[in-house]
């Protein structure tokens, strides 16, 4: 094995060990306030992109402060900022703030840039980049580490330009991926449906600032400053107020869907129609010859597939396997879609539900399907 490969392998193992400790210590006490860490990208000597003369750091901070002001009106929500003025905070420092606060959500806000006239909003969760475009966005944001002192030591050989370096990053956030996708979908749905912004989907890419947080985390690209019209919109009070309103609304909807506002809460407030809309915003991850389903239950009892028999869930099917009836929710070749449906089923009360895959009439574990793609 080459030294570089060994270095990356060691780096990945260290991430896993740290992640296991952090997940084990994560406080799930429903009596504590719902803690949201808001992260305004860039700041200080890192202005971010300057498309059309606008400064990403200033715009991101303005939007974040507006989001915080809305959330702080809710007595059940505690807001923490990684920065509330024009200061530089390292990527490691931003993640540390969230972890030390035992936060329930980490939301990072940015503005995009491109050499073309591209426009629209996109929200990222941590994952291996599906396309070169996703990789380029992550690369741009990760390159902030070069502005930090001792970055070689602090980031253990991580190279923002290397796709291989991103493999280790995805290991830490698997615990929270479905929740992250849910929040990202709510954000994108609000931007698209309410503000009529162009939807560039929920996407996965390797962002350092997301990988090092131990809670559901998203990175929001609110639009392209390099686009004349969109840059002007994001630089305006109207645009910043509107974006902040919808980000805050998505966070509140996410919180309500978890039914954690009080210990007595039993049912999520999110409806299946909202999930359907959210699903429409998620970037597709299609496996043409595979069908994914969420297995809700297995029973010797034959139950009619009516929504009232399955906590209101629609699209439930029943199949006999041996002596048992298996009950499945959803049916799709889109792995990202089925992950979101699993999240919704869990919120409805099916805490132990899981995803299964079918190919050529055989049932497979999703991991078998996903691994086959990498060969």
316: domain CATH number is 3.30.70.1070
Query: Where does the pLDDT of residue 364 fall: very low under 50, low under 70, confident under 90, or very high at 90 and above?
Result: confident
User: Is 206 inside a domain boundary?
Assistant: yes
pLDDT attached to residue 1: 38
For the ranges 166-180, 194-208, 305-319, the lowest mean pLDDT is seen at 166-180
Q: What residue numbers bound the domain in which 336 lies?
A: 284-374
Q: Are residues 168 and 223 in the same domain?
A: yes
Q: Are residues 293 and 231 in the same domain?
A: no
CATH number for the domain including 176?
3.40.630.40
Report the share of the chain in percent with pLDDT over 70: 68
Q: Are residues 113 and 246 in the same domain?
A: yes
Q: Are residues 243 and 333 in the same domain?
A: no
Q: Are residues 228 and 323 in the same domain?
A: no
For the ranges 55-64, 200-209, 326-335, the lowest mean pLDDT is seen at 200-209
Q: Quick check: 194 and 246 in contact, CB under 8 A?
A: yes
User: Is 275 inside a domain boundary?
Assistant: no
By the 10 Å C-beta count (0-12 exposed, 13-18 middle, 19+ buried), 52 is classed as: middle
Average pLDDT rounded to a whole number, residues 211-238 = 91
Whether the pLDDT of residue 165 is over 50: the answer is no
User: Is 266 inside a domain boundary?
Assistant: no
Q: Compute the C-alpha angle 264/189/369, nearest 5°.
A: 85
Q: Are residues 316 and 249 in the same domain?
A: no
User: Is 91 inside a domain boundary?
Assistant: yes
Task: Please identify, among 220, 238, 257, the residue that sits at the C-terminal boundary of a domain.
Answer: 257
pLDDT attached to residue 371: 65
User: Is 97 inside a domain boundary?
Assistant: yes
Whether the pLDDT of residue 201 is over 90: the answer is no
Q: Quick check: 327 and 299 in contact, CB under 8 A?
A: yes
Residue 42 contacts by C-beta under 8 Å, 6 or more apart in sequence?
48, 56, 57, 60, 110, 144
For the ranges 50-54, 170-174, 182-186, 344-348, the lowest mean pLDDT is seen at 170-174
Average pLDDT rounded to a whole number, residues 69-76 = 95
Q: Are residues 228 and 294 in the same domain?
A: no
User: Is 278 inside a domain boundary?
Assistant: no
HSE on the CB side for 16, CA within 13 Å?
A: 9
Residue 183 to residue 217: CA distance in whole angstroms: 8
Whether the pLDDT of residue 10 is over 70: the answer is no
Q: Are residues 227 and 319 in the same domain?
A: no
pLDDT attached to residue 205: 61
Query: Where does the pLDDT of residue 152 fall: very low under 50, low under 70, confident under 90, or very high at 90 and above?
Result: very low
- Identify which has the larger pLDDT, 12 or 344: 344
pLDDT attached to residue 26: 46
Q: Are residues 231 and 95 in the same domain?
A: yes
User: Is 271 inside a domain boundary?
Assistant: no
HSE on the CB side for 322, CA within 13 Å?
A: 3
Sign of the alpha-carbon torsion through 133, 137, 139, 140: positive
Q: Are residues 213 and 132 in the same domain?
A: yes
User: Is 49 inside a domain boundary?
Assistant: yes
Question: How do beta strands 316-321 and 291-299 pair?
Answer: unpaired
Total domains in the fold of the chain:
2
Q: Of 94-103, 121-130, 147-156, 188-197, which one has max mean pLDDT? A: 188-197
Q: Are residues 238 and 321 in the same domain?
A: no
pLDDT attached to residue 368: 78
Whether the pLDDT of residue 263 is over 60: the answer is no
Average pLDDT rounded to a whole number, residues 50-77 = 96
Q: Are residues 289 and 246 in the same domain?
A: no
pLDDT attached to residue 212: 63
Average pLDDT rounded to a whole number, residues 75-97 = 90
């Amino acid at each position: 094995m080459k030294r570089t490969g060994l270095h990356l392998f060691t780096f990945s193992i260290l991430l896993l060990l740290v992640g296991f400790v952090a997940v084990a210590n994560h406080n799930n006490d429903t009596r504590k306030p719902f803690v949201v860490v808001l992260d305004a990208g860039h700041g200080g000597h890192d202005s971010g992109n300057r498309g059309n003369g606008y400064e990403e750091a200033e715009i991101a901070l303005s939007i974040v402060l507006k989001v915080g002001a809305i959330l702080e009106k809710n007595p059940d929500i505690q807001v923490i900022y990684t920065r509330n003025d024009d200061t530089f905070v390292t990527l490691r420092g931003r993640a540390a703030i969230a972890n030390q606060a035992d936060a329930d959500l980490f939301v990072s806000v940015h503005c995009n840039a491109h050499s073309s006239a591209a426009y629209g909003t996109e929200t990222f969760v941590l994952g291996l980049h599906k396309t070169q475009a996703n990789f380029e966005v992550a690369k741009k944001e990760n390159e902030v580490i070069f502005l930090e002192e001792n970055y070689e030591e602090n980031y253990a050989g991580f190279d923002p330009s290397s796709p291989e370096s991103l493999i280790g990053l995805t290991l830490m956030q698997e615990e929270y991926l479905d929740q992250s996708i849910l929040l990202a979908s709510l954000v994108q749905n609000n931007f698209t449906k309410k503000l009529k912004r162009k939807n560039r989907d929920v996407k996965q890419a390797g962002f350092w600032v997301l990988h090092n947080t131990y809670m559901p985390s998203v990175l929001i690209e609110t639009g392209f400053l390099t686009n004349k019209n969109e840059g002007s919109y994001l630089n305006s009070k109207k645009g910043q107020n509107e974006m902040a309103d919808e980000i805050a609304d998505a966070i509140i909807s996410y919180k309500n869907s978890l039914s954690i506002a009080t210990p007595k809460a039993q049912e999520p407030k999110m409806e299946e129609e909202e999930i359907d809309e959210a699903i429409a915003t998620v970037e597709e991850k299609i496996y043409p010859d595979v069908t994914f389903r969420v297995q809700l239950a297995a029973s010797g009892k034959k139950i009619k597939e009516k929504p009232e028999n399955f906590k209101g869930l629609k699209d439930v099917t029943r199949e006999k396997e041996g002596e048992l009836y298996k009950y499945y929710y959803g049916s799709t070749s889109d792995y990202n879609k089925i992950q979101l449906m699993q999240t919704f089923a869990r919120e409805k009360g099916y805490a132990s539900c899981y995803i299964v895959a079918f190919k050529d009439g055989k049932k497979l574990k999703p991991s078998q399907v996903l691994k086959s793609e990498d060969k």
